[in-house]
Amino acid sequence: MTMAIKFFPDTYVDSVVQLRGMRAMREIDGIEWASAAMATPANVDALRAEGVEQGRVAHAGSNDFFLVVRATTDSIAAEALAAGEAAVMSSGHPHDGGGQPDAPRSLRDAMVAQPLSNVAVISVPGDYAALAAHQALSSDLHVLLFSDNVPLDKEVALKDYALSRGRLVMGPGAGTAMFGGVGLGFANAVMPGRVGVVAAAGTGAQEAMALLDRWGVGVRHVIGVGGRDMSSEVDGRMARSAISALRDDPGTDVILFISKPPAPDVAAAVLATAGETPLVAALIGLDPDFAAPAGVVLADTLEAGVTATLGLLGLTAPDTTATLGASVDEVRARLAPGRWLIRGLFSGGTLCYESLVILGRTVGEIHSNIAINKEWGLPAPDRSHQCLDLGEEEYTRGRPHPMIDSEARIELLLEQAADPHVAVIILDVVLGYGANADPAGILAPACESVMAGGGPQVVAYVLGTDQDPQSYTAQRDRLVQAGCIVTETAARASLVAAAIATGDPSLVRTRL
C-alpha cells in the first residue's frame, strides 16, 4: 500500500464539496481509504492515526485543505488525487481558477456584491469563527454561526454584542434556521404557517418543522440558538431574544421552543419572555419537578411538543402509534435466537438524545457517547444497549458529517449486525437542503442484507417532507421495500425498537 497526500494552502472548502472530492477518489479501483478535509488540528491527528508520517503534515494549518488516499500503487494514488482535485475545483471553487474567479474573498467583498443581505452564514474553523462573527455583527448582519469549537467566553461576548446591536447570533453549532420560507444550513422545505420555532437543538428543529408540515400546519420562522444557549453560563441570551422577536411578529400565533434539559432557572426566565403569546416548551428529558411559567405547555419529547402545538391551534395530531405490518411476536420470530439488544446509529444529535431518554425509561441502562447518565458512557460493557451520535467529533474527524455522507454509517451498521445478541438497529434518515441526495438509496441495500437470515431488524425514521429535494415519500418507500420498519416520528422508532427487543407489545402504542 502507498499513502499519497496533497495540500492546498489557504483554501477553504465546505463539507459538501469535501464529500464530492472524497467520493471521486473512492470510486477509483484500488483505493483502500480516502479523505478530503480542512487541516484542523483534529483532522491532522486523524491523518497521523491513519499512518501519514509526521513530516508530511508538519507544515499544515487550519486554513489549508487536503486530499489524501491509501492505494495499492503509486499510479492509482496519483489518479485518485487528480480525480478528487477535479471534483473539488469543478464545484465552483475559486482557488486555482475554479468556476467562480470573481467570488468574494472577504465579508466586505460579499456585502458589496450583495448589499441587501442581512444574514451572514459562518462556517470556518472555530479558532477564527468568533472574529468572523464579530465582523458580521459590526456590519449589522444577523449571524448563523455554523462553526463548532468556539470558546464559551467568546460565545457570551458575541451574544452580548449582538444584543447591543439588535441582532441575532444563532449558534455556535447552529445547523438549522429558516426565515420566511428561506432555509439556512440543514433546513427542510416546509409550507408556510403560523408557528414560530426556537431551538437549542439542530435536528430537534428539523423534526419539529417536518412534522408541522406533514401534519398540515406549516412554519413561519425557525431560529436556532446553539446547544449551549440554555446553559447557566450563556443564560439563554439568544433564546430570550428569539422568543421576543416571534412574540412581536404578527404572523406568529404559537411559539414552539425546543431544548435538551436546560438550567432550570434559565428555562423559567426564557419561557416567561413569551408573555401572552401561546408557547409550547418541548424540553427533551424534562425534569418532572420543573415548574414552567403560567400558560406554558410542557412536553418532554419532540412528538409531544408538536402535538401540543397543534392543540393550541385547535387541531388534532394524527395517530402516530406504529403499525409494524405484523405483531411484535411475528417480528421477533424473524430474529435468530439470542438476539435482544438495541443499537442506535444516529446522524442527528438531538434524535439520539431523545432516543436515550425514551429507551432509558423502557429498557433501562443505555450507553452512549453522549450519555445522559455519565456512568452509562463509553466504552460500554459487553451485551449492553447502545445509541451513538455519529455526528460527534470522534466519528467525523477527516470525513463529512453522516447527514452529508450516508455511507459513513454502513460500516458500523454491518459491524453491529454481526453481534449475535443485537436484535434491533435504529437508524434516522435526515432529509433537507445540505443533506445527502439519496440517503435511503445508500442505506437500504445494507439494511436488507443485515436483516436476512435471522439478522437484526432495522427500525428507521425518515425526517423530512415531500417538498425536500430527496422526497420524504420516496425515501420512506425505499426503506419499506428493503424490509425496514419505518415509523411516523423519531420517538416512535425508539418505542418500536424497545417493543421488539423486550417482547412487550404495549410499548408500540405508548402515548407521548
Q: What is the DSSP string of 373-430?
A: SGGG-SSPPSS-EEEEETTSHHHHTTS--TTT-GGGGHHHHHHHHTSTTEEEEEEEEE
What pLDDT does residue 433 have?
A: 92
Model confidence at 322: pLDDT above 90: no
Work out the pLDDT band at 102, boundaries 50, 70, 90. Answer: low
pLDDT tens track for 484-499: 999 999 999 999 999 9
| Closest of 33, 36, 38 to residue 76, by C-alpha | 33
Query: Alpha-carbon distance 125 to 217, whole Å?
Result: 37
Are 2-97 and 107-312 in the same CATH fold? no
133 grid coordinates:
462573527
Tell me the pTM. 0.90
- Calculate mean pLDDT across residues 392-407: 83
Q: Is 226 within 8 Å of 171 (Cβ atoms)?
A: yes
For 185, list phi and psi in degrees, rounded to 5. Answer: 70, -140
- Calculate mean pLDDT across residues 219-231: 97
What pLDDT does residue 15 have?
A: 72
What pLDDT does residue 152 have?
A: 96
Query: Alpha-carbon distance 308 to 407, whole Å?
Result: 36
Work out the pLDDT band at 375, boundaries 50, 70, 90. Answer: very high
199 SS3 class = strand
Work out the pLDDT band at 312, boundaries 50, 70, 90. Answer: very high
Work out the pLDDT band at 103, boundaries 50, 70, 90. Answer: low
Work out the pLDDT band at 398, boundaries 50, 70, 90. Answer: low
Model confidence at 98: pLDDT above 60: no
Please, what is the average pLDDT of the chain?
93
Model confidence at 305: pLDDT above 90: yes
Extents of the domains making up the chain: 2-97, 107-312, 328-509
- Calculate mean pLDDT across residues 148-169: 96
**CATH class of residue range 107-312:** alpha beta
Within 10 Å of residue 329's Cβ, how many Cβ atoms? 10
Work out the pLDDT band at 131, boundaries 50, 70, 90. Answer: very high
Write the CATH number of the domain with boundaries 2-97: 3.30.1360
- Calculate mean pLDDT across residues 210-234: 97
- Calculate mean pLDDT across residues 160-167: 98
Q: Is 191 within 8 Å of 218 (Cβ atoms)?
A: yes
Query: Alpha-carbon distance 196 to 189, whole Å?
Result: 15
What pLDDT does residue 230 have?
A: 96
Within 10 Å of residue 100's Cβ, how many Cβ atoms? 11
Query: Alpha-carbon distance 261 to 290, whole Å?
Result: 10
pLDDT tens track for 245-275: 999 999 999 999 999 888 999 999 999 999 9
Model confidence at 101: pLDDT above 80: no
For 442, list phi and psi in degrees, rounded to 5. Answer: -80, -40
For 334, list phi and psi in degrees, rounded to 5. Answer: -75, -20
Whether omega for the bond prior to residue 469 falls within 30 degrees of 0, making it cis, is no
**CATH class of residue range 328-509:** alpha beta
The alpha carbon dihedral of 13, 14, 15, 20 has a sign of negative
Q: Which of the residue ranges 193-202, 282-291, 470-479 would you say has the lowest mean pLDDT?
A: 282-291
8 grid coordinates:
492546498
* β strands within 266-330, DSSP E: 279-283, 296-299
Tell me which H or E stretch contains 342. Answer: strand 341-346
Work out the pLDDT band at 99, boundaries 50, 70, 90. Answer: very low
Q: Name the DSSP class of 28.
A: S
Model confidence at 378: pLDDT above 70: yes
Residue type, 85: E
What pLDDT does residue 12 have?
A: 83
Model confidence at 92: pLDDT above 90: no
Instruction: List C-alpha distances in Å: 502 to 118, 221, 376, 420.
Output: 52, 40, 20, 16
| Closest of 39, 36, 40, 41 to residue 15, by C-alpha | 36
Residue type, 454: G
What pLDDT does residue 93 have?
A: 55
